[in-house]
Structure 1
């Protein structure tokens, strides 16, 4: 691997880790567009661009989630009762979602990703916060919600924070706990997603050397090795910085990155 790509993956890992800890997001909104552009520049075939970016992002989120959830747990912000209730649905939904994504061609998948990121960005810009109006559902309801979060998370390679945080806020969970719990929920999402993309891409022709299914191992290792250490920094900053303002800035970045991703896919 050329030195410039090594440095690029390390820098991406640092950025992803900080935002994972700061905003309770898994980093897919940043990783998928940038990895798509990086893979295209390295000559990966257009039919695999987005799938490889999604799978690699999911794998990288595993270590980021572990680091982020540890930091939030240290602040007492993780509701482990919620994690235990929602995890079975999340695991099944995410794993199933990778099989759906593997059957969708690159361009429609990129369009879905960009539309979802536009929705997430709009939420952040408007600082939309559902009014607490109900309590958490029972085991069946939590499993169903987890399944829905998992399926969408697999299609866009996110840790689920953009879905789970509003849901928990709506169910009278304090915002700080919702963000911390979302970081913990990101771990089963990432594990199931990484495994699913590895299985679905196994044996696919035209993938670059170093790929395990739809997971590009060099990018995964380099991104994870840095994001694991920068996620706690983001978690600490979440208690000191104006998160609402940072979310609006982050939303603008997501929109620009998604637009760049569409340009990469359609121009190619």
Structure 2
């Protein structure tokens, strides 16, 4: 092995471990950490031509493993609402496929800025909002279920995240407890990650200049490295989530959203 790759492998292992931890803790799949980290690693290795596409596609693939581990851990606590997963998954899958199909056409900076602004507002609501504030006592039915599920799939696939950012917010404002929302949103990661990753694989098959060990836009070497560490930490995060009270969990989730939002806004305004 080239000795110069060792620091990058160690970095990916650390990133994977942290991604697994927050996947279990917040039900967000870990993409918020993996996408920027993998982007910088690939760029540093000289593969900047498709670095962002590879970062998003690979992150979606890793999210499948972290989400499965996270859901399994939450299910042992009887916190997962499988009825919600069953009814919302088809629409999320369709949205994820659509998101991966239009990834090359999406105006990246505009989408990043919009998402950052929305995440900023959501973080404020989670941190300062009244604990009992909600729009309704139950999740919406048709046609809003299809529309909202599709939007979650599209945006999450485009950003390389597991859907927890949107899923947790959606479920809490429609009457679900924070613990149930986090546990169930972890399952959204599978519905988003698998079709999204497949879409990125197909979209990048004929693209030149990809990094070694790439299948389309998914870098299999990075996937194995990230997943190897992420899957072990996801259950730890899930167990930690059940030891925190709902108010504290909301505040921690809000801080995570705030950090992500500010970073996205910085990228959209000052980078590129």
TM-score (norm 2): 0.88
Structure 1 residue 31 displacement after superposition: 1.4
Structure 1 residue 244 displacement after superposition: 3.3
Deviations 1:182-236 (A, max 9, x none): 0112111111111111111111011111111111111111111111110111111
Matching residue of 1:66: 68
Matching residue of 1:231: 234
Deviations 1:50-86 (A, max 9, x none): 1111101101101000011111111111111110001
Matching residue of 1:17: 20
- The aligned runs of 1:112-123 (5 Å cut-off) are 112-123=111-122
Distance in 2 separating the partners of 1:165 and 1:81: 16
Moved more, 225-234 or 116-125: 116-125
Count matched residues. 262
The yes-or-no answer on 1:94 pairing with 2:96 is yes
Distance in 2 separating the partners of 1:174 and 1:238: 13
- The aligned runs of 1:134-149 (5 Å cut-off) are 134-138=137-141, 140-149=143-152
TM-score (norm 1): 0.89
Matching residue of 2:56: 54
Residue 48 of structure 2 aligns to a residue whose secondary structure is: coil
Structure 1 residue 145 displacement after superposition: 2.3
Distance in 2 separating the partners of 1:249 and 1:131: 20
Gaps of 5+ in 2: none
Deviations 1:9-37 (A, max 9, x none): 10000010111111111111111122111
Distance in 2 separating the partners of 1:97 and 1:197: 10
The answer to whether the 8 Å contact 1:14/1:226 transfers is yes
Residue 74 of structure 2 aligns to a residue whose secondary structure is: helix
The yes-or-no answer on 1:188 pairing with 2:191 is yes
Structure 1 residue 43 displacement after superposition: 0.8
The yes-or-no answer on 1:162 pairing with 2:197 is no
Matching residue of 1:250: 256
Counterpart selection for 2:38 from 24, 35, 41: 35
Matching residue of 1:208: 211
The answer to whether the 8 Å contact 2:116/2:264 transfers is yes
Deviations 1:80-112 (A, max 9, x none): 1110001111111101110111233xxx32442
* C-alpha spacing 1:143/1:207, structure 2 compared with 1 (3 Å): same
What is the RMSD computed on CA atoms of the aligned residues?
2.2
Residue 101 of structure 1 aligns to a residue whose secondary structure is: coil
Distance in 2 separating the partners of 1:149 and 1:252: 19
Distance in 2 separating the partners of 1:261 and 1:95: 25
Gaps of 5+ in 1: none
Distance in 2 separating the partners of 1:197 and 1:261: 22
Structure 1 residue 237 displacement after superposition: 1.2
